[in-house]
Amino acid sequence: MKGMRLAWILCLWIGLYGTAPAAAAADKAVLTIGYVELDGDPRYKSKRMEAQLQGQPWGRPVAGAEVALREARFPLAGVGVGFELRRVSGRTLAELEGAVDALVDGGVHFVLADLPDAALIGLAAHLRGLPVLLFNVSALSDRLRKDLCQANLLHLAPSRAMLSDALAQYLVSRKWRDVLVLKGGRDEDRDLHSALQRSIRRFGLKVVDTRPFRLGRDPRQRNRNNILLLTSGRDYDVVAVVDTDGEFAREVPYQIQRPRPVVGSAGLVPDWWHWAWERHGAPQLNNRFMKRTGRHMTGYDWAAWMGVKALTEAVVRTGGTEFDRLVAYLKGKDIVLDGFKGYRLSFRPWNGQLRQPLFLTTSNWVVSRVPLAGFLHARNNLDTLGLGPEEVDCNLGGGGS
């Protein structure tokens, strides 16, 4: 009886795949995906991870790629392709370049990059002209999409401009037009502040004042670290906190002088994924991620997951692993990606940015998905978020769809 059952299973396999399991395994092509990260990356310090601050990573995003690899097995079986992930790292740009060079020498053509802005800029420049496509998992700088964009780099994470535009749309919809800005002094804060200023101008909001803050309890700096003092003396509809570190921002809600909403880096936070999103298959994805990692999925994890998912779609649609065909599909007009957000996603031809809706979130809820109703664009409503072709200095493909 057992032998008959095994024979029946073998016949069924051959009927489905046209060959015996051993032969099928031998014939299967394997596409190796690289994954590069920075050793000692300050964004993943244990103290920051334990705090689980809004809009910040809660762990290394590679976990998202690993979840996507498991999901990819079934669709890839239909085209006789398997995926594997090869993870490398380095402490300096030179070490990162060497690690990725070794991947390329081993036949790897697609690399997910979880790197800070400067390291990603350097690595993309190092690989220019080679048959390698990088996927940006976690760098948010607008310059990477504006004057430093490169043909060998696609962005899965949104830009700061996209996140600020999402927030500005919501403020306009609520008629919260007068904004008091609390601004940090880090280089990243200056970038985020520039993005917020652009969005405020774009959507017709008004800054009533901008006040710098300093993290700490030094009584000599009370005018810069006391939230009551920082938010006194002017009226406003909303307080926007510019704090890429998040340590100061988390103390601002419920501590300000007037009973007003807090937005930006705390309170109502623009993000590109949230574990409380309950539509379009998101609960199942969040559950799979939680089962694998023991923590909630963040936007950074989603970006790594989306990179593998985009490659899966490209392989299935093109029927193979040829580099040029996969790149042409990923950058083409016919690509349709499902990110479990309810929109058809694609990459912008002028700077390689993934079009995607964003979320306005609290610590445990998604308040709204953006773009909001009424915010329209002649090309694609998702292009109401972020930099248009007229704002990009290194246009990669014109202003088409």
Q: What is the CATH number of the domain that holds 150?
A: 3.40.50.2300
Per-residue pLDDT tens over the stretch 83-136: 999 999 999 999 999 999 999 999 999 999 999 999 999 999 999 999 999 999
In a domain, 375, yes or no: no
Give the Cα separation of 10 and 19 in Å (integer): 9
Structural domain total, the chain: 2
The answer to whether residues 92 and 28 belong to one domain is: yes
In a domain, 50, yes or no: yes
Give the Cα separation of 151 and 297 in Å (integer): 29
CB 84 within 8 A of CB 73: no
203-207, long-range: CB within 8 Å, 24+ apart, which pairs? 203/165, 203/168, 203/169, 203/171, 203/172, 204/172, 204/177, 205/168, 205/171, 205/172, 205/177, 205/178, 205/179, 206/177, 206/178, 206/179, 207/179, 207/180, 207/181
- Six-digit token string for 188: 């990243």
The pLDDT of 294-302, averaged and rounded, is 98
Per-residue pLDDT tens over the stretch 378-387: 889 999 999 9
CB 161 within 8 A of CB 180: no
Q: What is the pLDDT of residue 184?
A: 96
The answer to whether residues 147 and 281 belong to one domain is: yes
Residue 18 has pLDDT above 60, yes or no: no
Global pTM reads 0.91
- Give residues with Cβ within 8 angstroms of 308, minimum separation 6: 33, 65, 68, 69, 72, 83, 85, 112
- Of 22-26, 227-231, 311-315, 329-333, the range with the lowest mean pLDDT is 22-26
Domain that holds residue 105: 10-158+274-358
Number of residues in the chain? 401
The answer to whether residues 289 and 151 belong to one domain is: yes
The answer to whether residues 53 and 185 belong to one domain is: no
In a domain, 384, yes or no: no
Look up tokens 């690993």; give the residue.
66
In a domain, 255, yes or no: yes
Q: Among the three residues 240, 270, 300, which one is the final residue of a domain in this structure?
A: 270
The answer to whether residues 16 and 146 belong to one domain is: yes
In a domain, 396, yes or no: no
Per-residue pLDDT tens over the stretch 315-370: 999 999 999 999 999 999 999 999 999 999 999 999 999 999 999 999 999 999 99
The pLDDT of 75-79, averaged and rounded, is 96
> Which of 246, 241, 305, 251 shows the shortest CA–CA distance to 49?
246
Sheet arrangement for strand 153-155: 81-90, 29-38, 110-114, 133-136, 153-155
| CA 11 and chain centroid, separation | 44
- Six-digit token string for 234: 């002017």
